[in-house]
């Protein structure tokens, strides 16, 4: 068993995830909506795959990627 093996994120995993993400949602600090990544197709998938693998292998997340704002919204369902 090779203990030095590190799972790399595959392009197919990124494609599946992009397909599963909901459209027309608020964007993060990068201000890039999911629809942009989908329009970029293979170029976007390759770019994201490389970025995610770099983060995964170096264990270093860019500071910009750590920022987000969560705003809970009441949708008139059950108790507030």
For 67-79, write each residue's pLDDT tens digit.
Answer: 766 677 777 887 7
Query: Hey, how many other C-beta atoms are within 10 angstroms of the C-beta on 14?
Result: 21
Lookup result for tokens 């629809």: 35
Model confidence at 54: pLDDT above 80: yes
What pLDDT is attached to residue 30?
76
Model's pTM, two decimal places? 0.70
Whether residue 58 contacts residue 45, with contact meaning beta carbons closer than 8 Å, is answered with no
Dump pLDDT digits (tens) for 21-45.
888 877 777 788 889 999 999 999 9
Whether residue 49 contacts residue 14, with contact meaning beta carbons closer than 8 Å, is answered with yes
Residues in contact with 23: Cβ distance below 8 Å, sequence separation at least 6, in sequence order = 33, 34, 35
Residues in contact with 34: Cβ distance below 8 Å, sequence separation at least 6, in sequence order = 18, 21, 22, 23, 25
């Amino acid at each position: 068993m090779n203990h030095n093996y590190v799972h790399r994120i595959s392009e197919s995993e990124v494609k599946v995830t992009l397909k599963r993400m909901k459209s027309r949602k608020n964007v993060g600090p990068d201000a890039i909506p999911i629809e942009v990544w989908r329009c970029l197709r293979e170029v976007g998938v390759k770019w994201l795959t490389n970025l995610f693998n770099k983060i995964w292998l170096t264990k270093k997340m860019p500071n910009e990627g750590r920022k987000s704002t969560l705003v809970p919204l009441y949708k008139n369902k059950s108790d507030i």
